[in-house]
Structures are given as C-alpha cells and as structure tokens.
Amino acid sequence: MATTTSYADDDARWAAGRSRDRAADGVFFTCVRTTGVYCLPSCSGRPLRKNVEYHPTAEAARAAGFRPCLRCSPDAVRETLTWAIGDTELGLALVAMSPAGLRLAILGDDRAALVADLNHRFPKARLVEDGSGLADVLSAIAARIVRPDAAPDMRLDDRGTELQRAVWQALRAIPSGQTVSYAQVARTIGRPTASRAVAQACAANPLAVITPCHRVVRADGGLSGYRWGVARKQALLAREGAA
C-alpha cells in the first residue's frame, strides 16, 4: 500500500512529531538526548527540539546509544492501515484497509469525529491517509448505499470474536429488502438464547453497509438503534423497500 507522505528533512520530521503524525511511525525514530530514549513520532512526549535527533531505524537508534521509550513502545509490531474519507448520499464514509482487506467502514457527518473514531479503534496501528489509493473502496461503499444489491469485490478483514463473526456472516446473508429480528439471527447462528449478544455484535459491526446490520430490527418491527444514527438506518431500509 503506497503512502504519499515523506519526511525528507528534520523540519518535516519535527513537524510530524509535533502533530503526532501516526503515518510517520516506523518511517523514522525520534531520539531524545536528555532522556536517552528513542520514540515513535506519535509519542505523547514533548522534548525540546534542541535535544532531538532522528534515526531511520530502531537499530540505528540503539547503535547510537538510545533505549526504547516505555511510553510509546517503539519496538512493538504495528500493523499499517491506510484510510480515506469520501462523500456518500448518507454523509461521509471513512474506510480503512489492512493488508488482509477492508478493516473498517463507518459513516458520519463530521470528518474530525470519524478520524477520532479511527484513532480510538486502532491506538497501536500506523495510520496512513491514502485518498487516491482507496478511491475505489470509497466508490464501492457509496455505490452500495445507492444500489443495495451491489456486491463490492473486496476482501474483508472484520476481526472479532467467534460469535461476532458468526453474526456478521449471518447479516451478510440477509437479502436486500428484507429484515430479521435479533432472535432470528440468534437462531440462525445456533444460539437461540443469545439475542442480546447478537444485538451487541450488531453494535460492534466494523463494516457499515457491507455487513448490513441495519437489516436487523426488533421483534415488533421497530427500528431499534443503529451505531451510525437511526435516521440512516431508516434511509437505508427505505432504499431497500424494507421500511
């Protein structure tokens, strides 16, 4: 997955550290002479610039006499996620891709709130914005909203517990234009008494629209809740003729 961010000089590296740019994590390491530690650029520490030097790898930082920061654990293995935000007919969509596939697709109205959600979900990941590289993924999400039967041709990386993954798989089998109850989903996955757990799995769904948790309603037909707003749930069902 390509990145479009470069840190060609110390000014750019310092700016990345001041903004806690997580796209810079692993690209270079910030070494603080006064404490003797090396950090990720996104580390919450705030050294003075005169006390900082940069090294391209952790090995180079250690060779220069620095030790890993206990706060940001720069030697920990970090997954890289590329992400982007685009417009849909139901507001903004943020998508994030891992090497294994689509990891996140969420909806909202505020860019800053979506990015904050991304950061909260993946506090240890290296996050790289890549709008051009994910343009097709965003287009697929937007198309799915307009044409619910559209089946995006992409791999999914919807990690969760065994029960959550069973629920999400069952949700993807619900045809457009139909709704089911939480109890029906529980029976489908062979857990007839697990209606509450099904509701919790729906609330934890990381792939809005792709895994259509909006097609699950209360036993009396009421819409119940929806992580991205009941109005969006109603709009999605109306488009599918299921409202």
Strand ordering across the sheet containing 37-39:
52-55, 29-32, 37-39, 67-68
- 31, 39, 43, 202: the catalytic one is 39
Question: Is the Cβ–Cβ distance between 13 and 41 less than 8 Å?
Answer: yes
Residue 181 vs residues 145, 188, 216: alpha-carbon distances, Å? 22, 11, 5
DSSP for 168-221, written as a single string: HHHHHTSPTT--EEHHHHHHHTT-TT-HHHHHHHHHT-SBTTTS-GGGEE-TTS
- 31, 43, 72, 213: the catalytic one is 213
Question: Is the Cβ–Cβ distance between 202 and 171 less than 8 Å?
Answer: yes
Q: Provide the 3-class DSSP secondary structure of residue 156.
A: strand
d(C-alpha 56, C-alpha 91), whole Å? 40
Catalytic residue status for 72: no
d(C-alpha 8, C-alpha 113), whole Å? 30
- 89-100 burial, b if ≥16 CB within 10 A, otherwise e? ebbbbbbbbbee
Catalytic residue status for 202: no
d(C-alpha 198, C-alpha 216), whole Å? 10
Q: Regarding beta strands 37-39 and 29-32, do their DSSP bridges make them parallel or antiparallel, or are they unpaired?
A: antiparallel
The residues annotated with a catalytic role in the active site are 39, 213
